[in-house]
Structure 1
Amino acid sequence: MLFAYADIKGRIKRISLHKNIVDNKALEEIEHTDRERSKCYNYYTGKVWGAADSHYLCINSAALGVDQTVKLIRFFIGKKLK
């Protein structure tokens, strides 16, 4: 399993720009999505969503940017499949 995360400021900025919405609306969407993802992941896996020990790789996409995050994920998958 892979977990990509970012600090809340970076997430708000990305969602606001991507969906052309104000910051407080972006935060509401982020919180709603996180709750739903967490419930689903926890239910189906029996693990805790977002906990590092529940994943093979955790990546801070805000630190790397989207393009570099994608490159790192591709590299990781290539190594994992060998």
Structure 2
Amino acid sequence: MSAKIITITREFGSGGRTIGKKVAEALGYDFYDWNLVSKIAAESGFAPEFVEENCEDASSALPWLFRAQNVGGDLSDQLFAAQRNVIWQLAEKGSCVIVGRCADYLLRTRTDVLNCFIYAEGEAKKQRIIHEYGETEVSIDKRLKDKDRKRKAHYQYYTGRKWGRAFYYDVCLDSGRLGIDACIDTVVSLAKSFTCTTPKEED
């Protein structure tokens, strides 16, 4: 038995997206990251720009802002519901790698999912961000802090879980110490030998 679905939760700058894409290529799986935006937009009826801005990086204050303004009942919850539906549809469709978007939590009742968390130390992440995205007017430290803060707030708001806690993942890999290629090889190997038969228990 092998893992049909692989979820990649990652710190900004850790190379999680690259790892997920290469793992998908190695296994012949579909790969979903930013291409989820158009699918979630179609499911929810929201503009792709709105989905891209709020689907994963929304701060914990956003749902409360929508409620306070009484806009569309609760746009944030509607968006999350659409995200959940799309991810379940993709999981049913076939083998795939899904990056971010609470996929590990949304698919928690399935027994064919390998959940991975990719992280790295600060300097390794800074170098990767500069290499992949270049310099901006905003400092690297602030970009790192803000991006992960928003991901963490969004994840914890909708899942009730602590983002990045090892208990919720099957494997946690330090891409800074191990290197991207070693992380790819590890995830591919684990996916091929995956033998889980029961959903992971909640904490």
Asked whether the two chains share a fold, i.e. TM above 0.5, the reply is yes
CA distance 1:40–1:80, change in 2 (3 Å): farther
Q: Give the TM-score taking structure 1 as reference length.
A: 0.82
The runs of at least 4 aligned residues of structure 1 exceeding 3 Å deviation read none
Counterparts of 1:25-44 in structure 2, within 5 Å, are: 25-44=139-158
Written as runs of structure 1 = structure 2, the 5 A alignment for 1:3-82 is 3-21=117-135, 25-80=139-194
Q: Aligned equivalents of 1:78 and 1:44: distance in 2?
A: 30
Measure how far apart 1:29 and its partner are: 1.5
Q: Deviations over 1:12-68 (max 9, x none)?
A: 11111211217x722221111101111122122221001111211100011111122
Higher helix share: 1
SS class of match (1:71): helix
Distance between the aligned counterparts of 1:46 and 1:81, measured in 2?
Answer: 27
> Which amino acid is 2:182 matched to?
Q
The one-letter code matched in structure 1 to 2:120 is A
Aligned to 2:116: 2
What is the rounded CA distance, in whole Å, between the counterparts of 1:63 and 1:45 in structure 2? 29
Q: Which amino acid aligns with 2:187?
A: I
Q: Larger C-alpha radius of gyration, 1 or 2? A: 2
- Structure with the greater relative contact order (CA < 8 A, sep ≥ 6): 1 or 2? 1
Q: Let me know the Cα RMSD of the aligned residues.
A: 1.9
CA distance in 2 between partners of 1:55 and 1:45 (Å): 14
Q: How does the TM-score come out when normalised to structure 2? A: 0.37
Q: Percent identity?
A: 26
Structure 2, gaps ≥5 residues long: 1-114, 197-203
- Shift of residue 81 of structure 1? 5.7
C-alpha distance in 1, partners of 2:186/2:158? Answer: 27
**What count of residue pairs does the alignment treat as equivalent?**
81
Instruction: Give the Cα separation in 2 of the matches to 1:28 and 1:51.
Output: 23
